[in-house]
Chains A and B, each alone.
Chain A
Amino acid sequence: MIANDPNLKRRLDRRAAMRTLLDNRGDLLLVTGLGSTTWDAAAAGDNDRNFYLWGAMGAAAMVGLGLAIARPDNRVLVVTGDGEMLMGLGSLATIGVQRPPNLAVVVFDNGHYGETGMQASHTAEHVELVAIARACGFKETFDITDELGLRDFAARLHNAPITLFARVAIRADEPPRVLPPRDGVLLKTRFRRAVGAET
Chain B
Amino acid sequence: MRPLAAAQTSDWRDEIFAALKAAEIRQVGYVPDAGHARLIELCRDDPEIRAVPLTTEEEGVALAAGAWLGGQRAALLMQSSGVGNCINMLSLAKNCRFPLISLVTMRGEWAEFNPWQVQMGSKTQAALELCDVLVYRVEQPEEAAETVAAALDIAFNGDLATAVLLSQRLIGAKQWVK
Which of A66, A185, A197 contacts B74 (CB under 8 A)? A66
Which of B55, B72, B95 contacts A70 (CB under 8 A)? B72
The reply on A39 being an interface residue by CB < 8 A is no
Interface size class of B (residues with CB under 8 A): 20 to 34
Known A-B contacts A94-B53, A94-B59; the reply to A64 vs B88 at CB < 8 A is: no
Q: How far is the CA of A18 from the CA of B74 in the complex (A)?
A: 30
Select from chain B the residue with minimum beta-carbon distance to A194: B69
The reply on A63 being an interface residue by CB < 8 A is yes
In the complex, which residues 30-59 of chain B have their Cβ closer than 8 Å to any Cβ of chain A?
50, 52-56, 58-59
In the complex, which residues 56-94 of chain A have their Cβ closer than 8 Å to any Cβ of chain B?
56-60, 62-71, 74, 88, 90-91, 93-94
- Number of A-B pairs whose CB atoms are under 8 Å? 122
Of A29, A56, A65, the most chain B CB neighbours within 10 A belong to: A56
In the complex, which residues 92-148 of chain B have their Cβ closer than 8 Å to any Cβ of chain A?
92, 95-98
Which of A90, A98, A185, A192 contacts B69 (CB under 8 A)? A192
Interface of A is mostly: helix
Contact yes or no, B97 A184, CB < 8 A: yes
The reply on B154 being an interface residue by CB < 8 A is no
Known A-B contacts A66-B74, A94-B52, A94-B59; the reply to A56 vs B69 at CB < 8 A is: no
Contact yes or no, B55 A64, CB < 8 A: no
Contact yes or no, A59 B92, CB < 8 A: yes
Q: How far is the CA of A54 from the CA of B92 in the complex (A)?
A: 9
Q: Which residues of B contact A (CB under 8 A)?
A: 26-27, 50, 52-56, 58-72, 74, 88-89, 91-92, 95-98
Contact yes or no, B64 A55, CB < 8 A: no
Interface size class of A (residues with CB under 8 A): 35 or more
Complex interface: chain A residues within 8 A of B55 (CB): 90-91, 93-94
The reply on A117 being an interface residue by CB < 8 A is no
The reply on A195 being an interface residue by CB < 8 A is yes
Which of B62, B68, B70, B71 contacts A56 (CB under 8 A)? B62
Select from chain A the residue with minimum beta-carbon distance to B74: A66
Q: How far is the CA of A71 from the CA of B118 in the complex (A)?
A: 40
